[in-house]
Amino acid sequence: MLNKARIAVLVSGGGTNLQALIDAQKAGIITSGEISLVISNNAGAYALTRAENAGIKTAVVSKKELGAEKFEETLIAELEKNSIDLIILAGFMCILSENFTSKYPKRIINVHPSLIPSFCGEGFYGLRVHEAALEYGVKVTGATVHFVNEIPDGGEIILQKAVEIEVGDTPEILQKRVMEQAEWNLLPRAAEMVSAEIVKSR
């Protein structure tokens, strides 16, 4: 449908959140947007295989090879070439500069595996977030979907969900519970909410 928001999902690794978005689109949970492109900074990311299996166009843009400035220029060129309206960071392990984020106000969302403002910001990503939560001894953690601005994990919060920490949790067990009980549900819902806003604003 012509009127859908065109979505690019940026990934770095396994891509279970990307899979949740693909499944939500198939299930009719995302109807206002369409995943049109998946970009990885890492050519070996399994997320790329998930995209290919779903028939979604992919691109690899390597920060290591290009350097920070050219990396963002190339990302922007890919996004423009594909007329992208909404950028979803789904396990994307690169911090984007203000030069990039200011081009897309309220058009970039990110999923973070904690209840922001706890365990977030530079250095808090992937398993490290869960290690920090367990080390601190909090009894509740969760996930947050937020808009992305120039402050790492500092943009306006869209959705949050709490998840209980259980006795005997390891970072890996906790990561899986947070994904299952929060991330895979929140991210598709937020994608639909923001896509619907984009479509309405046209």
Q: Give the residue numbers annotated as catalytic, written as ranges.
A: 112
Query: How many contiguous H segments (helices) and E segments (strands) does the chain have?
Result: 8, 7
Name which of residues 171 to 190 contact ligand GAR (CB under 6 A). 179, 183
Subset of residues 46 to 75 that bind ligand GAR, contact rule: CB under 6 A: 47
Residue range at the interface with ligand GAR (CB under 6 A); choices 10-18, 31-39, 132-140, 189-197:
10-18
Residue closer to ligand GAR by CB (options 104, 125) is 125
Nearer to ligand GAR (CB atom), residue 80 or residue 172: 172
Task: Indicate the SS3 state at residue 34.
Answer: strand
Give the x-and-dash track for 83-122 against ligand GAR (CB under 6 A): -------xx-------------------xxx---------
Residue 129 found at the interface with ligand GAR (CB under 6 A) = yes
Q: Say how many residues make up the chain.
A: 202
**H or E stretch covering 112:** strand 108-112
Q: Which of 17, 141, 149, 195 binds ligand GAR (CB under 6 A)?
A: 17
140-147 and 157-164 beta bridge pairing: antiparallel
- Per rule CB under 6 A, is residue 125 in the interface with ligand GAR? yes
Name the closest residue to ligand GAR (Cβ): 91
Pairing, β 108-112 against β 140-147: antiparallel
**Piece of the chain touching ligand GAR by CB under 6 A; list 33-41, 66-74, 124-132, 164-172:** 124-132
What's the min distance (Å) between Cβ of 100 and ligand GAR?
A: 16
Which backbone phi and psi does 71 adopt, to 5 degrees?
A: -60, -50
Q: Is-cis flag, bond preceding 171, omega within 30?
A: no
Q: Could you give phi then psi for residue 97, rounded to 5 degrees? A: -75, 170
Number of chain residues interacting with ligand GAR (CB under 6 A)? 16
114 within 8 A of 133, measured Cβ to Cβ: yes
Query: Distance between CA 101 and CA 72 in Å, rounded?
Result: 10
Tell me which residue of 197, 86, 108, 107 sits closest to 152, measured CA to CA. Answer: 108
Q: 84 or 88, CB closer to ligand GAR?
A: 88
Residues at the interface with ligand GAR (CB under 6 A):
13-17, 47, 90-91, 111-113, 125-126, 129, 179, 183
